[in-house]
Amino acid sequence: MRSQHDVPARPPAFRIRLPRLPVEQGIIRSTGNPVTRRLGDGVGTGGQLVTIAAVLVGALTTHLTNHLMERSRNRHRLLTRWDDKKVDAYGEYVDAAKMRIAASVRLYEARENLREDHRPEEELREDLAEAGRRWGSAFERVMLLGGDEAIEAGHELNKLVAEIDWQATGRITGTLEEWRERHRAAFRAINAFHEEARTDLGIRGSVTGDRHPERDLLLPSARQVPARRTSDRQASAGD
């Protein structure tokens, strides 16, 4: 019979200690699962990329919008500046055409003895030539700045003004009625040019039509010989 001291002692329990994984703040999730940790890192990087892309798109959109607005303002300023130049060019051209017509009238009436003019004919011809040079320079500005329809209306007016000039200088012949008819046609052409110029400039309204009936030339009344006084008639009868 074995005594209590003969019972062999129970061997000690065997334990294996695993090394602890290093803990990094903000990386390992609450589950402590390394797979979950790797997925979490991927989601964070993707979110940052989306944020950066959104910032870049916003910056590009702002830049493009500012660029388009500035370009629109510059175009508006440019159009306004050219419109001002067009107004000056159109006005100068019509004024030059009328000055050429007026110089032609003075020369024609002097040559046809329709009125007395103390200036020599050569001087009147020089005035007409100078008016023609001014008219030509004015139309060059219209050619540079004017719209297509305004330029064509100017060509039609030029032809009629030239015919008035030619009859005034004697290069072509014609009656007084033909002379006046050329003037009527020229002023109709001036009104047509006004219409095209207003359309090109975007001006509302019209200078012709039902509200603006066509008007004829303003012609002086026929000369009347003043009646002699009664005393003069009696003196003439006594003689």
| Cα dihedral sign, 31-35-41-43 | negative
Please write the tens of the pLDDT for every residue from 151-182: 999 999 999 999 999 999 999 999 999 999 99
- DSSP bridge pairs for 236: none
pLDDT computed for residue 58 by the predictor: 79
- Give the alpha-carbon dihedral of 65, 67, 73, 74, to 10 degrees: -160
pLDDT computed for residue 80 by the predictor: 60
Q: Confidence class of residue 12 from pLDDT cuts 50, 70 and 90?
A: low
pTM listed for this prediction = 0.60
Structure tokens at 236: 């003439």
- Compute the average pLDDT of residues 76-84: 66
Please write the tens of the pLDDT for every residue from 175-205: 999 999 999 999 999 999 999 999 999 988 8
pLDDT computed for residue 225 by the predictor: 39
| Residue 191 forms part of a structural domain | yes
| Residue 185 forms part of a structural domain | yes
| Residue 209 forms part of a structural domain | no
| Residue 3 forms part of a structural domain | no
| Residue 23 forms part of a structural domain | no
* Separation between Cα atoms, residue 182 and residue 215, nearest integer Å: 14
CATH code (residue 109): 1.20.120
Residue type, 44: G
* Separation between Cα atoms, residue 122 and residue 133, nearest integer Å: 17
pLDDT higher for 61 or 106? 106
Please write the tens of the pLDDT for every residue from 16-46: 565 565 544 444 444 455 544 554 555 567 7
Beta strands in the chain (DSSP E): none
Looking at the structure of the chain, the number of domains it has is 1
Residue 104, domain extent? 82-201
- Residue 183, classified by CB atoms within 10 Å of its CB into exposed (0-12), middle (13-18) or buried (19+), is buried
| Residue 108 forms part of a structural domain | yes
Other residues' Cβ atoms within 10 Å of the Cβ of residue 40:
14
* Separation between Cα atoms, residue 44 and residue 40, nearest integer Å: 6
| Residue 98 forms part of a structural domain | yes
| Residue 132 forms part of a structural domain | yes
